[in-house]
Amino acid sequence: MASASAVVTRSAPKATPDAGPGELASRLRLVITRTARRLRQEAGTELSPSQTAALATIERHGPLTPSELAQLERVQRPTATRIVARLEEEVLVERTSDPADGRSFTVAATPKGRALMGKLRTRKNAYLARRLHRLDDADLATLERAAEILERLLEGEGR
């Protein structure tokens, strides 16, 4: 779990209306990266970010072949195979023969893997809820709209 020490953050300069999409892209990238890092810290898992992301993908879309996992995670197949091996060592996923191709296998989340993902999501959601609780209704409405816009931006990316 993350320590209780204060985190020093510096805000990027505010974009002006005439700054353009480049300035906004820079600010969004920075705040999204910092938010993702903080959420990983709050989750408090021993898994790497790549392993956690792969387990989440397997849980959501599985069972998957290593090739399908690699495509969804946008990594090379050997990387996906190494990640699967590490998740198997932790009994978070299990492999079975691929019924469509006897030379391959599929991987699915185990009950332990599903429970871990539930715990991680709960911790991350609780952290965000505590932070959001501090905001007024206008800021909450703005963030709701921003979430809708970001979801729309990411639609159709194949992941």
Q: pLDDT tens for residues 114-156?
A: 999 999 999 999 999 999 999 999 999 999 999 999 999 988 6
Distance, C-alpha 109 to centroid of its chain: 16
Give the pLDDT score at 104.
86
Q: Which of the residues in the chain have pLDDT under 70?
A: 1-19, 156-159
Residue type, 20: G
Nearest CA among 47, 54, 14, 50 for reference residue 31: 14
Distance CA 29, CA 37 (A): 12
pTM for the whole structure: 0.75
